Structure 1
Amino acid sequence: MSQTTSSTSFAVTEAADRRSADEIAHLLANPGFGSLFTEHMVLVEWTGDTGWQEARVVPYGPIPLDPSAAVFHYAQEIFEGMKAYRHSDGTVWTFRPERNAERFNASARRLAMPELPPTIFLDAIKELVTLDQGWVPPADSGETSLYLRPFMIATEEALGVRPSNRYLFSVIASPAGAYFTGGLTPVSLWVSDQYVRAAAGGTGAAKCGGNYAASLASQAEGIEHGCDQVVFLDAAEHRYVEELGGMNLFFVYADGRVVTPELTGTILPGITRSSLIDLLRERGHDVTERRFTIDEWRDGVAGGEITEVFACGTAAVITPVGRLAWSGGELAMPQDHSLTLDLRQELLDIQYGRAEDRHGWLYQLV
């Protein structure tokens, strides 16, 4: 476990109409996902002349932008997703935020945006959660947490296809319940044969809004076929499994081997994915990161070699896959989710402080 003191100076303006503890408790009883927001947000600005400046925490609210702001026209925008967890002693922690800071800057480089010093990234999260810590759900409230959304947008008021000369970094926070409203039930997946998420040399490894916007048409197609999420295949051959719209995939074999698609530059390097690879190897599983075809998936399940399939990500944590469908067919996944659920519990126990953090993954915020 790690903890640091803030080294970034933030000017703080508290909201005048803060909710009472009773009001917050009422809202936290059923927070949903991404629909409620805490009372404050972090703002830090960058210009080509001055660099990062004006770090501040202000009341949550609209951000004024000129209609010509570059983000509207050229989509320079990146973000991260994290969670803050209340432990039984009342302290509040997050999970591997240094990795989020690293990925944020990798996304920034790909979109020709300025890198944010990791100290500012971490201090911003700590500052916001400290001020709005009353919005972190109690430790005994199940899998609830405070979802954190750091993001950066281009704000220069000018048209022209070039990197912006002004940017805004912000952090907002949203109390969150379960990602899937139906609870922890196996998800059904639609294999998209018409759309791709990313191509070699593109922005697949960056966490930018454009990747998610490009996935929405195929997501709608999947819903039309009774599926929860979409499986994207590679753009060149339409054979290799990449990821879902927002989650990585794992395939468990009867002999204990585990395969997950390798990071080819078109797949987002998930922090949950990386953590699960470590936990699986500690359990003695042979984990291979390699290219994995859709035919291997279907044949492996049909022949009984693949015994479990699961998806993972920050928001959903880990969820079993129950059905795979595509144009002209579908296949039920194995019903034994024992390793999936056991891994899920192990990861949650670490995040909520119920198990030893032997990797030093937790970072104290409050």
Structure 2
Amino acid sequence: MSSERARAYTAAGVDIEAGNALVRRIRGLVASTQTRGVLADIGGFGGLFRPDLAGMAEPVLVASTDGVGTKLKLAFAWNRHSTVGIDLVAMSANDILVQGAAPLFFLDYFATGKLDVDTAAAVVGGVAEGCRQASCALLGGETAEMPGMYAPGEYDLAGFCVGLVDNARLVDGSGIQVGDAVVGVASSGLHSNGYSLARKILDGSGLGPDDPFPGAEGKSVADVFLAPTTIYVEAVRPLLRDLTIKGMAHITGGGFYDNIPRILPAQVEARIRFGSWTMPPVFTWLREAGKLEWQEMLQIFNCGIGYVLILPEAQAEEAVSRIQAFHLPAWRIGEIARRERGAASDGQESGGEQVVVEF
């Protein structure tokens, strides 16, 4: 673009050339995520995707949108931007996986007050890596430079993912019954939820980003708090093909108590055996430093379980073994029981009508 034509906009604080430089920088990143259905390169007004509907009697599109939340505040403060894009993809890709959908494509939105090409390229690099992990295409996106909308050095991220599933293979939890097993798959840590509280606790602890994190050998505070959200697509998709997966839950905001009931029929409850999985050190540290009870922790954080599957008891061991083959720890963490409305287990309040955590 002519510098003369852009002069007025540049004077207002919008750097058109920086935007063009970013597009040039990320073109290769976007190309690295292309799948068979992508029909056009970036730069068009809309992304083009032709889905493969072969073998599907009744194709259903599944879509989800999300952001990264206040975890971004730590990325700003510590100038570490390469993983928050993975978080962005994970939050939506894992959500549509819950219903049995294979992610097809993802679009992102990056907004900032003044565009820093290096920062934006690092963020989009993370988005591209997340798309590769989710086996979906980064089909397009938007970069918005809006002077005065954001504090210097800050930005916001949003995105959405679209996937596809045959209606006959849609996972909705309706077949869950008493005796089914609950399998939990490990989280990488905090993922992208609970950061308003986690940051408050961290601020009062005196720990800095480069300090060793207590109990996490070889990892700094920044490593632990900015660990990217696990994307479960690669490990879970084969199970959907081969096993009887009746229900799944992505453990995000609201923890165990709000997310697992979203897939349970009204007549059953999930009984979770606390301590049946390995707890990452960050959660024990947050509980102690924040003077919280485990019930509160399980309401706010994933506490080491990022994804839950419900399937017949006879298939639980195979599911755990196959998930672990993808280098993801997994455990049988509970079972489905007949719902006891308003009841407690071993003197512990359930904390939610359909989830009973047995301590």
Structure whose residues are more often helix by fraction: 2
Task: Give the TM-score, by structure 2 length.
Answer: 0.27
Task: Give the TM-score, by structure 1 length.
Answer: 0.27
